[in-house]
Amino acid sequence: MANIPHFDGHESAGVSEVLYMNDLLFILMLIGALGVSSQWIAWRFRLPAIVVMSVMGLLVGPILGIMDPNEDLGALYGPLISIAVGIILFEGSLNLDFREIKGLGKPIFRITTVGAFLAWILGSLAAHYIADLSWAVAFVIGGIFIVTGPTVILPLLRQAKLKPRPAAILKWEGIIVDPFGALVAVFAYEFVKFITMADVTFITVLGFLAGSLLAAVIGAIFGYGIGWMFENGYVPEFLKSPVVLASVVMAFALSDAVVHETGLLAVTVMGMTIANMHISSIGDMRHFKENISILLISVIFIMLTASLDRDILLSIFDWHIVIFILIMLFVTRPLSIFLSTINTDLTFKEKLLVGWIAPRGIVALTVAGYFAGVLTDAGFEDANILTSLTFGLVFATVVAHGFSLGFVSKKLGLSTESKPGVLIVGSSKFSVNLAKVLEDLNIPVLVTDSSWSRLSHARRLGVPYEHGEILSEQTDYQIDLTPYEYMIALTEYDSYNTLVSSTFMPAFGREHLFQLPLQVNQGDHLEDVSKHISGHLLFEESANWSTLNEKINKGYLFKKTTITNQYPYNQFLKELDSESILMLVLRKSGSIEFYKPGSTLRPEAGDTVISLQKPPQN
Q: Which residue has the higher pLDDT, 299 or 18?
A: 299
What contacts 295, CB < 8 A, 6 or more positions away?
32, 35, 36
Side chain identity, residue 570:
N
At residue 2 the predicted structure's pLDDT band, cuts being 50, 70 and 90, is very low
| pLDDT at position 60 over 50 | yes
| pLDDT at position 525 over 60 | no
Decide: 535 and 489 in contact? Cβ < 8 Å: yes
Output the CA torsion sign for 293, 296, 299, 301.
Answer: negative
Q: What is the mean pLDDT of residues 265-283?
A: 78
Side chain identity, residue 298:
S
**Of 371-375, 459-463, 505-509, which gets the smallest average pLDDT?**
505-509
Mean pLDDT of the residues in the chain: 77
Q: How far apart (Å, rounded) are the C-alpha atoms in residues 112 and 116?
A: 5
Q: How far apart (Å, rounded) are the C-alpha atoms in residues 451 and 469?
A: 8
Residue 573's pLDDT is 84
SS3 426: coil
Residue 1's pLDDT is 42
Decide: 463 and 445 in contact? Cβ < 8 Å: yes
Is 421-613 CATH 3.20.20.80?
A: no
**Of 187-196, 340-349, 358-367, 537-546, which gets the smallest average pLDDT?**
187-196
Residue 444's pLDDT is 84
- In DSSP terms, 560 is beta-bridged to 610
Q: How far apart (Å, rounded) are the C-alpha atoms in residues 286 and 97?
A: 12
Return left, alpha or beta for 537; rule: phi > 0 is left, psi -120 to 50 is alpha, else beta: beta
Q: Which residue has the higher pLDDT, 422 or 203?
A: 422
| pLDDT at position 534 over 80 | no
| pLDDT at position 181 over 80 | no
DSSP 137-181: HHHHHHHHTT---HHHHHHHHHHHTB-HHHHHHHHHHHHHHHHHH
- In DSSP terms, 161 is beta-bridged to none
pLDDT digits (tens, 9 = 90+) for 592-602: 888 888 777 78
* H-run or E-run covering 234: none
Q: Provide the 8-state DSSP code for 347.
A: -
Decide: 183 and 197 in contact? Cβ < 8 Å: no
Q: What is the mean pLDDT of residues 337-366?
A: 83
CATH number for the domain whose boundaries are 16-411: 1.20.1530.20
Residue 417's pLDDT is 60
pLDDT digits (tens, 9 = 90+) for 222-252: 989 988 888 888 888 778 878 888 888 898 8
| pLDDT at position 12 over 60 | no
Distance from the Cα of residue 532 to its chain's centroid: 22
Residue 4's pLDDT is 44
Residue 330's pLDDT is 92
Give the whole-number percent of the chain exceeding pLDDT 70: 78
Give the whole-number percent of the chain exceeding pLDDT 90: 3
Residue 204's pLDDT is 63
Residue 5's pLDDT is 47
Q: Provide the 8-state DSSP code for 517.
A: P
pLDDT digits (tens, 9 = 90+) for 536-580: 788 877 778 888 888 888 888 888 888 888 888 888 888 888 788
Q: Which long-range contacts (CB under 8 A, 24 or more apart) does 491-494 make?
A: 491/425, 491/426, 491/428, 491/545, 492/426, 492/428, 492/519, 492/523, 492/545, 492/546, 493/523, 493/524, 494/518, 494/519, 494/523, 494/524, 494/526
Q: What is the mean pLDDT of residues 278-304?
A: 71
Locate CATH 1.20.1530.20 in the chain.
16-411
Decide: 41 and 52 in contact? Cβ < 8 Å: yes
Q: Which residue has the higher pLDDT, 128 or 16?
A: 128
| pLDDT at position 33 over 60 | yes
Residue 334's pLDDT is 92
**Of 166-180, 280-294, 521-535, which gets the smallest average pLDDT?**
521-535
Q: How far apart (Å, rounded) are the C-alpha atoms in residues 19 and 22?
A: 5
Most confident of 48-52, 53-57, 98-102: 53-57
| pLDDT at position 8 over 70 | no
Residue 530's pLDDT is 44
Decide: 389 and 132 in contact? Cβ < 8 Å: no
| pLDDT at position 341 over 80 | yes
At residue 327 the predicted structure's pLDDT band, cuts being 50, 70 and 90, is very high
Distance from the Cα of residue 374 to its chain's centroid: 27
Q: Which residue has the higher pLDDT, 489 or 384?
A: 489
Q: What is the mean pLDDT of residues 179-189?
A: 70
What contacts 252, CB < 8 A, 6 or more positions away?
82, 83, 86, 263, 264, 266, 267
Residue 557's closest CA among 603, 617, 600? Answer: 617
Q: Which residue has the higher pLDDT, 11 or 513?
A: 513
Q: Which residue has the higher pLDDT, 531 or 30?
A: 30
Locate CATH 3.40.50.720 in the chain.
421-613
Residue 362's pLDDT is 66
pLDDT digits (tens, 9 = 90+) for 125-178: 998 898 888 888 888 888 888 877 656 676 666 666 677 678 777 877 776 676
Residue 431's pLDDT is 86
pLDDT digits (tens, 9 = 90+) for 493-523: 878 888 887 777 767 777 888 888 876 555 4
Question: Whole-prediction pTM value?
Answer: 0.62
At residue 14 the predicted structure's pLDDT band, cuts being 50, 70 and 90, is low
At residue 484 the predicted structure's pLDDT band, cuts being 50, 70 and 90, is confident
Most confident of 154-163, 260-269, 280-289: 260-269
| pLDDT at position 16 over 80 | no
Residue 206's pLDDT is 72
Residue 515's pLDDT is 83
Q: Which residue has the higher pLDDT, 5 or 461?
A: 461
- In DSSP terms, 448 is beta-bridged to 425, 466
What contacts 580, CB < 8 A, 6 or more positions away?
611, 612, 613, 614
